[in-house]
């Protein structure tokens, strides 16, 4: 199964982000696919294909790791693009307050899973994957907005299963790991 580790968002924040996605969709500035509201999350680590045996090892590592990290407040602010504003393939919301705590979690997950990352962790929430830009000027105006989406308390991390389907990915929570108080 394909797996990843994520921070889930409260429903009201997902609603606010979905409203912004609708605004962006209405502007008709690119062709691509928006992340469905129910799939919005902040990915800490994409693991990839794993066996049931690997799942048990990962769960055990996350159980211990989660007890070492206290809960924290995370703020979502700003819009950006990967790989750059000149060549837009992914549109995302940035992490403001709480970014260092999310990075510390990511780094400890990498250590616990003995994983080597070739890229620096950039806390973000993917909004859409872009196939073609239709109006670069207008899209860049959206990216330049310093829009604030809100803050929420991160009290747990989730081990998630990702199943790729013709309708898009389907995510399922495998296990929730509470962070320390």
Position 131 pLDDT exceeds 90: yes
Q: Can you tell me whether residue 65 is helix, strand or coil?
A: helix
* pLDDT tens by residue, 92-128: 999 988 788 999 999 999 998 888 776 788 889 999 9
pLDDT in tens, 37-92: 999 999 999 998 999 899 999 999 999 999 999 999 999 999 999 999 999 999 99
Could you read off the pLDDT of 156-171 as tens digits, one per residue? 999 999 988 887 788 9
**pTM recorded for the entire structure:** 0.89
Nearest to 106 by CA among 116, 96, 94: 116
Residue 167 is predicted with a pLDDT of 79
Which pLDDT score is estimated for 165? 83
Catalytic residue flag (residue 124):
yes
Assign 3-class secondary structure to 4-60: EEEEECCHHHHHHHHHHHHHHHHHCCEEEEECCHHHCEEEEEEEEECCHHHHHHHHH
**What superfamily does domain 2-178 belong to in CATH?**
Cyclic phosphodiesterase (3.90.1140.10)
Sign of CA dihedral 37, 42, 46, 50: negative
Would you say 127 and 69 are in contact if contact means Cβ atoms under 8 Å apart? no
Catalytic residue among 41, 45, 106, 158, which? 41
From the candidates 14, 45, 124, 158, give the one annotated as an active-site residue.
124
For 82, the 3-state DSSP assignment is strand
Task: Look at residue 118 in the predicted model and tell me its pLDDT.
Answer: 66
């Amino acid at each position: 199964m394909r797996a990843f580790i994520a921070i889930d968002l409260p429903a009201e924040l997902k609603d606010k982000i979905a409203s912004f996605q609708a605004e962006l969709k209405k502007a008709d500035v690119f062709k691509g696919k928006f992340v469905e509201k129910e799939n919005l999350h902040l990915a800490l680590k994409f693991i990839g294909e794993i066996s049931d045996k690997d799942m048990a090892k990962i769960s055990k590592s996350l159980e211990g790791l989660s007890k070492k990290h206290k809960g924290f407040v995370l703020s979502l602010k700003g819009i950006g693009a990967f790989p750059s504003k000149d060549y837009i393939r992914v549109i995302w919301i940035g992490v403001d307050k709480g970014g260092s705590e999310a990075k510390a979690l990511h780094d400890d997950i990498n250590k616990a899973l003995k994983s080597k990352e070739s890229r620096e962790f950039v806390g973000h929430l993917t909004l859409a994957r872009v196939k073609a830009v239709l109006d670069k000027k207008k899209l860049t105006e959206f990216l330049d907005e310093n829009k604030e989406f809100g803050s929420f308390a991160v009290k747990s991390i989730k081990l998630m299963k990702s199943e790729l389907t013709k309708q898009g990915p389907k995510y399922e929570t495998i296990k929730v790991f509470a962070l320390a108080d």
